[in-house]
Amino acid sequence: MSLTPPRPSRHRQRGIISIMAAIILIVAVIFGLSKTYDIIGNTSLSNVAQGDSTAAFFLAESGVEIAKATIESANVAGNYAAATCTGLQGSSFTLGSGTVAITEATCAGVAPCGECDVTVRGTVDAAERSIKIKVSSVNSQGTASCGYDPSLALTTTVDNQGVFTNLAYRAKPVAACADSFTSNALIGSCQITGTGGTQICTPSNDGWNIQMTGTNAMSGMGIFSDINLTPGIYQIGQTFTTTSGGINANRNYVQVGVLLAPPTGGSVSRTGTYAADTGGNRTANSTGTSGSVTTGWNCAQANGSANPNRAAGSNMLLYGFSSAPQNNVLSGVSLGSVPLRFQVEMQSTQGTPPDNIYSQIWYAYNNAFYPTSYTGAMGTVLANSGASFQATVGAAVNGYISGTTLTVTSVTNDGVIRIGDSVSGTGVTTGTVIAAFGTGTGGTGTYTVNNSQTVGSAPPPASNTVALTIRSLVLNVKSTGLTGAIGVGDTIISGALAGQTVSRITSEVTGGTAGTGGAGDYLLPAQVTTPITTTTAMQSGNTAVTYSGAGIDSPNYDPLPGTALAIVSGNGSLSHNSITGGIAPDIIDPNTATLTVSSGSALYAGDAVIGTKVKPDTRITAVLSGNTYTVTPSQTVASGSSMLARTAAVSGSGTSMIVSRPVYLNNADICGGVCALFRGPGSMSFSLYGITSGDDWASGFACVNGVDPNTVRTLGVVSTKRTGWSEVVR
């Protein structure tokens, strides 16, 4: 019988297959789930990245709007400049869940900045998006064309306003603007027309018309006219004619202007003008970058002699400038050392290429301050507010010390020894002071010192005496060279002790001669290290000054705070500082700002601050630290800007005032207003910055009174629009 192995049952085979199939299914499901989770995870990360990228894009767009708003705000405020654009670069801030940074801001096109190219980057975590825009400026702050009848529109809002315009034009035609008349153009007429009627403005009475004969035949015309009409819309215009007269002559021109409003109830009036293109005091040139005005000019009217009262009684100096530049445009003007403030500029756009001429207006403001009547120079006579004198402090002596007795054998600097003075020299115990007089009462003789010691010995031999330094806080004023009176609280403003405060000697100084305004002893706040000799000339001054004479004309009866002052005649000095720095608005007080000085000496509360970009009537209200100050009004001035700080009135009445710095004024006449701009600091010359020698230019000055410095308004506006947009591809 044969044996056959048993066969597996089909049922068992089917079970194994089912298990294997289940395992395969489970593996497949797990694999599928894993892939699903990977896909979900990647999708989630992609969604997050996409969200961050979108958020970064919107942040960049927000930065674009901030940049555009900054430019538009400057336009509205009337201080739009190239720095408005370029100053945006480097700005960054946090917004939402990310940051915004302006990585580029450059200027192009017609001044002040015809096109501002800005690149803004938005960042959220690792996502970055950048947008580049072009903000174009449409300059309607004036008019430019080829024609014979330039005119500017002006809208008056109150009575008694004034308007000043500066017209730059080619006296001879150029290819871009030519007609059959080749002779120089003349101004045929000037008039104001509008809803209130017609008012004639004659250049010979109200301004200047300089016909240049240089390479570019550049000419300039400045016109000031009172607008004593009811509020309304007007046009101020001129007409070009040929030299033969009566025939209109087309010329290239650019004209800008400002409207000047008075305080409520006041009026704006012109007090004088000056311009010249011949002689030694020219305000026109084709070969230089500086000029001067006639010595003694005080805003003289064309139909009258120079009168200093007009200068002291004018609170604004206007400067009109016309040029055909070879390279750059005018970037700064200073009269003496006083910088003028920039107001408006327009360049020509007519012709292909555009004819390269432009017109500007600059100004300086200072509160008027003057007497109703006077004899001789204008101003008020300030008496006994300081003194010039010769004095010694301490002494250089020879002598010896034995025990507590100091014997002085000679005094080499005409100095005076007083109780409390310290004694120093080789071998002298530190802290040795004069405790009492012996036979000496200020000169040679014996004195008691507080420390017992032996220094040198009595002669002979003479070589045993030693050189000793007597350090003192006693100022001994000599009668020689004394002019004026010294008072308690005076400050020495010139000489070896400049900056030291003096006080009158009291009975505590045994043997001294108390000073009572003249020769005698005065105390200083600290001992002077090096003895001062009698030949040293000094001047003392005080911040409180009194004046006599006529009252001050209303509404300027009291010297208003911030009024810069100058000396017209007499003995005296008013100090000033040339500084470099910047001004930033206070984040809490909207009425103040912080001045940070990067170079220049210390300033004083009450000083007037003047600069090309500084608001009119700016003054220091508080000293915060060695180089920071609170100023008013609130404003922004870029760091590194040049400014001038001057002695100014802090408060005042009809007979006295407090000034910001110690001053030396002995029978000196002072003034405010435009007078202070011409009288000091500096001379009657003016300097032009940014242009090159060889540029044709013509200019002039106009003195105006009654202007509210917060209402200087440019005729026309600069508007902005976004003319380009692109996303920067990384």
Structural domain boundaries in the chain: 38-138, 143-368+683-714, 386-542, 544-679
3-state secondary structure of 154: strand
- 220, 695 contact by CB (below 8 A): no
| pLDDT on residue 375 | 39
Q: pTM, whole model, 2 decimals?
A: 0.75
- 454, 401 contact by CB (below 8 A): yes
| pLDDT on residue 410 | 93
Six-digit token string for 548: 């006599």
Six-digit token string for 419: 């109780």
| pLDDT on residue 537 | 87
Question: At 576, phi and psi to the nearest 5?
Answer: -150, 165
H helices, E strands: number in the chain: 5, 45
Cα distances from 688 to residues 357, 448, 613, in angstroms, run 16, 65, 16
- 298, 310 contact by CB (below 8 A): yes
Q: What's 514's DSSP letter?
A: B
| Gap between the Cα atoms of 407 and 398, Å rounded | 9
The per-residue DSSP string of 555-598 comes to TSSS--TT-B-EEEEEEEE--EEEEEEEEEE-SS-TT-EEEEEE
- 699: Cα within 13 Å, side-chain hemisphere: 32
Name the stretches of the chain with pLDDT < 50.
Answer: 1, 372-378, 550-556
| Gap between the Cα atoms of 310 and 550, Å rounded | 16
| pLDDT on residue 53 | 87
Question: At 629, phi and psi to the nearest 5?
Answer: -145, 150
> CA 388 from chain center: how many Å?
32
pLDDT in tens, 321-335: 999 887 788 999 999
